[in-house]
Structure 1
């Protein structure tokens, strides 16, 4: 089964594909069989009709949701991310439609989702028993990862050091601003001191010249009087 990328996008956006969701109690034991039994018949009918489809079975494990989805698509992204599909293909390209298995749970891994490619629709249709055996094996592995994740000790992230870092940066900025304000005050004081020194020197020079002229004139008058006698 092949499809044009733009035609695929249109069908998903217009919601003209087959879809349904089934809710189940937590399976005992926690294996793939009950979950696949709920969605396998619907997926097989969609593949026979060569129709795009997305079917899910949801349950819980240790009070957290677990969602198993079998979905047809052209890239390993859930249909909910349809807006990103044209980042991988040219819109006019003709591509294979594939079957994907998605397991969503906060226990399964850090991202909360596991994606497995089953194969092209032609491959699945050519050997249906082998395809479903592969799906069952992969899903059992994913469910074991859910169990292991639920039993792992919870790690509390230490976020306190990261919150204190911005406070240090603000304190440094304030100090720099204060230093810039003090610099202009020092320059103004230096200018006033220079002006006062220049005025004092000029005044002293004028007083010294006046005293020397007054002393010379009386001495000349006394010498002339003695010669006349």
Structure 2
């Protein structure tokens, strides 16, 4: 999947992207039960097949607010930083759309954010089960890191 940078930026500025929200409970976290997230992958797949810029936003029940987002984007920056995306890209370029896993929590690291490229959207659409498994494993790792960060603060 490719998109013109200008079109991507307009989509973000006008908030015309799709957000699939998943709320995990403390029990989900304790058991590493990600069924709700796995269910969201099919919604993401359908949206991306239709050419819609989309994200999955996972709300985590930690004392320090934490989220994990899987965003379809053209650069490793979250949608909220659309002005920086605009500065760092050329509006006329065609860009490959990738899936980025964005973990956000004040106690995660110095910046409070970590961004990892998971795959291209084309790869996700061609092999959704393989890529989803990779993403699920990475989400479990991020949850483990966030749990450790919460213990370090206690």
Asked if Structure 1 and Structure 2 have the same fold, meaning a TM-score greater than 0.5 normalized by the shorter chain, the answer is yes
Greater CA radius of gyration, 1 or 2? 1
What is the number of residues matched between the two proteins? 153
Which runs of structure 1 show a deviation greater than 3 angstroms over 4 or more consecutive aligned residues? none
SS at match of 1:95: strand
The corresponding residue for 2:17 is: 17
SS at match of 2:141: helix
Which deviations, in whole Å up to 9, do the C-alpha atoms of 1:124-183 show, x marking residues without a partner?
A: 1121111011101111111111111112257xxxxxxxxxxxxxxxxxxxxxxxxxxxxx
Alignment gaps of 5+ in structure 1: 155-229
Higher-RCO chain (CA-CA 8 Å, sequence separation at least 6): 2
Q: Distance in 1 between matches of 2:152 and 2:142?
A: 15
SS at match of 2:30: coil
Check conservation: 1:71, 1:99, Cα contact below 8 A: yes
Q: Distance in 1 between matches of 2:129 and 2:92?
A: 34
Q: Distance in 2 between matches of 1:28 and 1:12?
A: 30
Q: Distance in 2 between matches of 1:16 and 1:66?
A: 24
More helix by share: 1
Q: Answer yes or no: is 1:42 the counterpart of 2:43.
A: yes
Alignment of 1:164-183 (within 5 A): none
1:37/1:150 CA distance change after superposition, 3 Å? same
| TM-score for both structures, normalised by structure 2 | 0.88
More strand by share: 2
Across the aligned residues of Structure 1 and Structure 2, the Cα RMSD in angstroms comes to: 1.9
SS at match of 1:64: coil
| TM-score for both structures, normalised by structure 1 | 0.61
Alignment gaps of 5+ in structure 2: none
SS at match of 1:118: strand
